[in-house]
Amino acid sequence: MSRLGRDYYDRDTLEVAPELLGCTLVHDGPDGVASGRIVEVEVYQGEDDPACHAAAGQTDRTEPLYGQPGHAYIYLIYGMYYCLNAVTRAEGLPSAVLIRALEPLDGLDRMRSRRTARARRRTPVADRDLANGPGKLCDALGLTLEHNRLDLIGDTLWIEPGAPPAEVAWTPRVGIKVGTDRLWRCFDSQSPYVSRTRLNHEAVAEPRQL
């Protein structure tokens, strides 16, 4: 089973992000393996990017962003959910790719039980809704702050290469109020597993054949 190595992440973030689409994110945790095909990501790069956590400079929280490429940057958002990033570029250059949505592949039962329990639902969460959002996918894979700073070139959390999507679309990033002029969200425009947002219909950049 091959996995993406350090050099893969040590590149321009706008190059890495679209290439992660189609790759497989795997978490081998205490309960077993859960994995999914990456179908949606966003770029956050530099202290000049007002939406990047590094815009406020280096702090205890943002330290991983400044660290070695190929590590996990996980943070708590809205007091309830976690978001997973893959750190890119060399040390000292705060930059990362936010993993926003997965098509579930392995460990569907584990994902379903974790998601159903946390969402306090009576009926099981549908497959399509298991990981179609950054908070949902962390819950589905069982990722928490414990996994922050984890080396992605390791045997707990890693990404495997995969077939690229036929079509990729770009839009502004979701859920932010600054930096919306940059089209730094990209997704597999033919996948039903992307986070559902009206932005999908208003893709500013035309889908591009690969």
- Taking the least distance from each CB to DNA, the nearer of 53 and 147 is 53
Is the C-alpha dihedral spanning 30, 78, 136, 70 positive or negative? negative
- Write the interaction track for DNA spanning residues 117-136; mark x where CB under 7 A is met and - where it is not: --xxx---x---x---xxxx
Crossing angle of helices 134-141 and 108-118, in 10° steps, is: 120
H/E element holding 140?
A: helix 134-141
Residue 48 interacts with DNA (CB under 7 A)?
no
Looking at 4-12, 21-29, 31-39, 175-183, which segment touches DNA (CB under 7 A)?
Answer: 175-183
DSSP string over 15-55? HHHHHHTT-EEEEEETTEEEEEEEEEEEEEESTT-TTSGGG
User: What does the alpha-carbon distance between residue 14 and residue 1 come to, in Å, rounded to a whole number?
Assistant: 26
Residue 62 interacts with DNA (CB under 7 A)?
yes
User: What does the alpha-carbon distance between residue 136 and residue 99 come to, in Å, rounded to a whole number?
Assistant: 11
Q: How far is CA 103 from CA 38, 40, 111, in A?
A: 7, 10, 11
Looking at 7-15, 103-111, 157-165, 169-177, which segment touches DNA (CB under 7 A)?
Answer: 169-177
- Write the interaction track for DNA spanning residues 1-30; mark x where CB under 7 A is met and - where it is not: ------------------------------
Residue 183 interacts with DNA (CB under 7 A)?
no
- Write the interaction track for DNA spanning residues 81-100; mark x where CB under 7 A is met and - where it is not: x-x-x----------x-x--
Looking at 9-17, 56-64, 152-160, 161-169, which segment touches DNA (CB under 7 A)?
Answer: 56-64
- Out of 7, 59, 126, 210, the only residue in the binding site for DNA (CB under 7 A) is 59
Which two tokens mark 202? 């208003």
| DSSP state, residue 56 | G
Residue 56 interacts with DNA (CB under 7 A)?
yes
Residues composing the chain: 210
The number of residues that bind DNA (CB under 7 A) is 43
User: What does the alpha-carbon distance between residue 38 and residue 117 come to, in Å, rounded to a whole number?
Assistant: 23
* Residues near DNA (CB under 7 A): 42, 44, 51-53, 56, 59-62, 65, 73, 76-81, 83, 85, 96, 98, 115, 119-121, 125, 129, 133-137, 173-178, 195-196, 198, 201
